[in-house]
Amino acid sequence: MTSIFDAYRKTLTSMEDGSESAWWYLGTTIASPEGHPDIIVNHVETVMVYGAQTLDAADPAAGYRVPWWEIGLFRDAITGELPTQWSNPVTGLQVNAARQFEEGPSGFSIRPTATGGIEMFDAVQAFASLESATLEARDVGAKLCITQTEVKTRSFPGPDGRIPDISEGKAVRSKTVLQWLAEKADLDSGMPSVPATGMYSFEIGAPAWLGFGDTPVKFAVRGIMHKVPMQERLNPRGWDDLKLLYPQHFEGDEIRPRWK
């Protein structure tokens, strides 16, 4: 039976040092202003690339490093195109809309605990500070389900595509929940990397550019996540637009992040 320590690595990335896996995150941003129903702001299409590197081959308990990097875009909820403006249905304001963002290179490390679980340590993320992270695994029928919950201080991308640094005083508390599942038979098969799919949620204070002013607003992203090889065009339209926005992170028909 595969340990949770190895299962996390096989599902998120690969047991092979230096290998990389691409995860597509496909979601919808939702604003919930007080006194009004939920409002779909836009749709999100991102690719996160995760790597894996054993920290000490002679000491498995030392864990492994997971470098990651992300590029993403937003789509207009009505047209499906890259947005230029967003019309606030409550205030009537028309504002410049966020259309793209990039995060990374960032990373964290994973090691086993004395009780048979795993823990995250040495997390470094551009534009964010990690407050806490919990990692849990449980059986769901023939699948193993891994849940990763992170509480951070950070900001949301602005219309210019920039994520404000914490030092600018615009960062707020956020909560991210990633949950993915893989077949236990795949995990026990000896494959260094196994298929996985799941869902995610992200909650943060509503960015000022939405134009709600002093109205209390809850803001969140809800979506699905799929692991694929680096060259798989899981979302062809998203692939083409990401390549248009970030040509430097593609090499022929393959996503190729620049780690340095």
Mean pLDDT in residue range 132-161: 95
For residue 47, is pLDDT > 80?
yes
Question: What is the rounded average pLDDT of the residues 118-131?
Answer: 93
Q: What rounded mean pLDDT belongs to the chain? A: 94
Residue 223 to residue 200: CA distance in whole angstroms: 5
pLDDT at 226: 98
Digit-coded pLDDT (tens) for 62-77: 999 999 999 999 999 9
Of the pLDDT bands very low, low, confident and very high (cuts 50, 70, 90), residue 253 is confident
Instruction: Collect contacts of 52-60 with beta carbons under 8 A, ≥24 apart.
Output: 52/9, 52/12, 52/13, 52/14, 52/15, 52/16, 52/17, 52/18, 52/19, 53/17, 53/18, 54/17, 55/109, 60/5, 60/112
Asked if pLDDT for residue 80 goes beyond 90, the answer is yes
Residue given tokens 């996390």 in the structure block: 8
Model-wide pTM > 0.85: yes
Is the model's pLDDT at 260 over the cut of 80? no
Answer left, alpha or beta for residue 81, where phi above 0 means left and psi between -120 and 50 means alpha. Answer: beta
Taking only the tens place, the pLDDT of each residue in 139-151 is: 999 999 999 999 9
Region 11-18: mean pLDDT is: 96
